[in-house]
Structure 1
Amino acid sequence: MATPGRGVLRDLRRLTLFTIKRLAALFLTVLVGVYLTILIANMGGQVDELRMVQIQSTVAEQVRADPAFFDLSPQERNALIERRVQLDVERLRLDQPFIVRSVDYLQQAIRLDLGRAEHMHSDRGAREVYWIIVERLPATLLLFGTANLLVFFASVFIALGLSRRYGSALDRSVIALAPSSAAPGWFYGIFLILIFAFLLPILPAGGMVDVPPPEGTLAYAASLLRHMLLPVAAMFLSTIFISIYSWRTFFLIHSSEDYVEMARAKGLPSHMIERRYVLRPTLSPIITSFALMLIGLWSGAIILEQVFNWPGLGTLLFQAIGHRDTPVIIGTVVIFAYLLAV
């Protein structure tokens, strides 16, 4: 006869095995995505050329700034630079076949050792790709985190109410509007800008805060909220109706369970039935659905930020593509891969 302790250990073993498999799958997804980005970016040898330029410029700056080499003639200084560049090339294995170099690039990208930007820099003047991305990341997390939370809580609680009003006019309206979620957020964003920024100029068309930025914490926060309204509304409209429809169907199916019918027969209030007998047992699939919804909204982040000129990772990626700044492109893709995996 199995003891309770053995059952707990067996469940714990299964949970550990599932977690390991899940983490391995996520890591493999990030690995493949980043490696494909490196292969595509280096189709014309751009990554290799970029590494050589960075090595040459770094070595040249070090030699010219070192007082020990001030007395060297230009020819001797150039020869010294060439020797040091060759040593760095051998140390970094840039003289190896591309398959070896690509693995090195992959390891550096996974470690977030993203190198220096070729053309771009942060607002503080930093050329390291890591700091350029870190400067833009909070804006993206703020915008999409707010939109995700609003869509999630609104859709769950509205759907819970609709499950009690099956067949009502409001229920039929949500069903009719569900296909509108096929349009991406940036599509709604264009119309929202036309209406509320041009026809009814009551909200800003883009940006994160007013220019120049307001002084004082409250004024800055108020300006930030005004600029967030349209992009958040665009993401909300692109997702809310299909989310409500999905959860409404899920709650309808779950409400027909025997123990829910028993609770109704006992005369328990509807809000208690929803909270204890419908919502609580379904928390696990609700959380899973929230994670999947995050992936769906992230996929539209790049274009939406560009439409609203929001200074996040999406806009950074567009700017990097325009400047042909390969390190920033690869670094941004790496961060997006990590965010999608998490």
Structure 2
Amino acid sequence: MSPAGESSQVGGRLRDVRRMAVFVARRIAALLLTVLVGVYLTILIANMGGRVDEIRRLQIQSTVAEAVRANPEYSDMGAQRRNELIAEQVQLEVERLNLDEPFFWRSLDYLNQAVRLNLGRAEQMTSDLGSRQVRDIIAERLPATLLLFGTANLLVFFTSVAIALRLSRRYGSALDRTVIGLAPSSAAPGWFYGIFLILLFAFIWPMLPAGGMVAVPPPEGALAYAWSVVRHMALPVAAMFLSQIFISIYSWRTFFLIHSSEDYVEMARAKGLPERAIRRRYILRPTLAPIITSFLLMLIGLWSGAIILEQVFNWPGLGTLLFEAIGHRDTPVIIGGVVIFAYLLAVTVFLLDILYALLDPRVRVGPE
């Protein structure tokens, strides 16, 4: 290649990298703005426009008053002086928590702390290790949610793609009609199937545990512990699998059917290429972008259903944590859980944009 050609090729690559960088920066900015708006609305709702802070002031006053009256050092103190001491300590605690500022400025401070996951101490809840730091409580629950939903979604994705590819060449078969008939069953959420699975396989035929993440007490040894986690994951993973598998196969089979009748597929078949190679190169590859789009959008929907599903199976993840925090009216933990879910959704959408731009060369990621 001539020096001019090499220079042109390098310049083209630099332009592509620059366009991708601009595209990524814009998408991050847009998603960050979406997260900020969502978290701020959560702060307003969780705090009921400032009413929760008023309740906290009353709780502080009640707690300080009880502590002062129960302290034997203040037993001989006059009532007026005792009330003044209570008022002084209440005011110090109120100033420490910035509850003396207008709610608007407090909400902005909550937003700043929330997006940085610096949410301080929980009001009621603690971690299993006894920590009341919201960051520690969330960090303790996040791996369980990622393990459960990551396993279920990967299982659904690879199983659906494999079966849908085969059904695209067996249009109208008994298996194809069965999948079409079962597709409406995905209208029911995962927790709905979970209730029946628990009834069948934990009570009628007690084969698997009904809930939790590991046996109590936890088994000793890494292999025994891992096997216990797998057994406890079986029912919730099966519930999510049943709620998504048939609609996924049906949707992706339609993509494969559309592309399997293209001229280039018939040409490859006429050339004598193996059927497996035809499905992989000429059917799966052109449809990979919409398939991944459909999968990630499905994943976004599953994140939103984590609260009920984890509560049904007593799975110690973020969904259960958020449910418990709502019951305890623990505002810092509620906001922290919502922030984590918002970040998970934003990361999912960001990966969708990047993967779509990489898989489909027709997608423009910036100005020409």
- Determine the C-alpha separation between the residues in 2 that align with 1:322 and 1:87: 28
Partner residue of 1:46? 52
Partner residue of 2:357? none
Superposed CA offset, 1:12-41 (max 9, x none): 343233222221222122111111111012
Partner residue of 1:218? 223
Partner residue of 2:26? 21
2:160/2:245 contact within 8 Å kept: yes
1:140/1:312 contact within 8 Å kept: yes
Superposed CA offset, 1:275-319 (max 9, x none): 122223333333333322221211211101100111111111111
Q: Residues 335 and 54 from structure 1, CA distance in 2 versus in 1: closer, same or farther, beyond 3 angstroms?
A: farther
1:321/1:329 contact within 8 Å kept: yes
Matched AA of 2:51: G
1:137 and 2:142 correspond: yes
- Determine the C-alpha separation between the residues in 1 that align with 2:44 and 2:324: 21
Pick from 264, 269, 277: which aligns with 2:274? 269
Q: What is the SS of the residue equivalent to 2:26?
A: helix
Superposed CA offset, 1:172-225 (max 9, x none): 111111111110000000111111111111111111111221222222111111
Deviation at 1:144, TM superposition (A): 0.7
- Determine the C-alpha separation between the residues in 1 that align with 2:77 and 2:226: 56
Q: What is the SS of the residue equivalent to 2:132?
A: coil
1:56/1:85 contact within 8 Å kept: no
1:89/1:95 contact within 8 Å kept: yes
Q: Residues 20 and 99 from structure 1, CA distance in 2 versus in 1: closer, same or farther, beyond 3 angstroms?
A: same
Q: Residues 282 and 102 from structure 1, CA distance in 2 versus in 1: closer, same or farther, beyond 3 angstroms?
A: same
Deviation at 1:42, TM superposition (A): 1.6
- Determine the C-alpha separation between the residues in 2 that align with 1:51 and 1:200: 52
- Structure 1 window deviating more from structure 2 (42-51 vs 188-197): it is 42-51
- Determine the C-alpha separation between the residues in 2 that align with 1:91 and 1:222: 48
- Determine the C-alpha separation between the residues in 2 that align with 1:47 and 1:10: 52
2:123/2:332 contact within 8 Å kept: yes
- Within-5 A mapping of 1:235-314: 235-314=240-319
| Gapped regions of structure 1 (runs ≥ 5) | 62-69
1:118 and 2:135 correspond: no
- Within-5 A mapping of 1:172-211: 172-211=177-216
Matched AA of 2:320: T
Q: Residues 20 and 274 from structure 1, CA distance in 2 versus in 1: closer, same or farther, beyond 3 angstroms?
A: same
Deviation at 1:4, TM superposition (A): 4.1
Q: Residues 57 and 21 from structure 1, CA distance in 2 versus in 1: closer, same or farther, beyond 3 angstroms?
A: farther
- Structure 1 window deviating more from structure 2 (204-213 vs 179-188): it is 204-213
Superposed CA offset, 1:97-151 (max 9, x none): 2222111110000010112111111111101111111111111111111101100
Partner residue of 1:66? none
1:136/1:316 contact within 8 Å kept: yes
2:53/2:99 contact within 8 Å kept: no
- Determine the C-alpha separation between the residues in 1 that align with 2:120 and 2:83: 24
Q: What is the SS of the residue equivalent to 2:176?
A: helix
- Structure 1 window deviating more from structure 2 (31-40 vs 212-221): it is 212-221
1:305/1:312 contact within 8 Å kept: yes
Pick from 318, 321, 327: which aligns with 1:322? 327
Partner residue of 2:170? 165
Partner residue of 1:30? 35
Q: What is the SS of the residue equivalent to 1:45?
A: helix
Q: Residues 166 and 54 from structure 1, CA distance in 2 versus in 1: closer, same or farther, beyond 3 angstroms?
A: farther
Matched AA of 2:345: L
1:192/1:234 contact within 8 Å kept: yes
- Determine the C-alpha separation between the residues in 2 that align with 1:94 and 1:176: 58
1:41/1:47 contact within 8 Å kept: no
Pick from 99, 102, 122: which aligns with 1:97? 102
- Determine the C-alpha separation between the residues in 1 that align with 2:337 and 2:37: 15
C-alpha RMSD of matched pairs (Å): 2.9
- Determine the C-alpha separation between the residues in 2 that align with 1:161 and 1:203: 32
- Determine the C-alpha separation between the residues in 2 that align with 1:74 and 1:221: 60
- Determine the C-alpha separation between the residues in 2 that align with 1:77 and 1:235: 59
- Determine the C-alpha separation between the residues in 1 that align with 2:100 and 2:278: 69
Superposed CA offset, 1:319-338 (max 9, x none): 11222212111111111111
- Structure 1 window deviating more from structure 2 (137-146 vs 89-98): it is 89-98
- Determine the C-alpha separation between the residues in 2 that align with 1:89 and 1:238: 48
Deviation at 1:54, TM superposition (A): 7.7
- Determine the C-alpha separation between the residues in 2 that align with 1:265 and 1:307: 53
- Determine the C-alpha separation between the residues in 2 that align with 1:177 and 1:300: 21
1:47/1:326 contact within 8 Å kept: no
1:309/1:315 contact within 8 Å kept: yes
- Determine the C-alpha separation between the residues in 1 that align with 2:236 and 2:162: 23
- Determine the C-alpha separation between the residues in 1 that align with 2:45 and 2:313: 28
Deviation at 1:271, TM superposition (A): 0.3
| Gapped regions of structure 2 (runs ≥ 5) | 68-72, 348-368
Partner residue of 2:341? 336
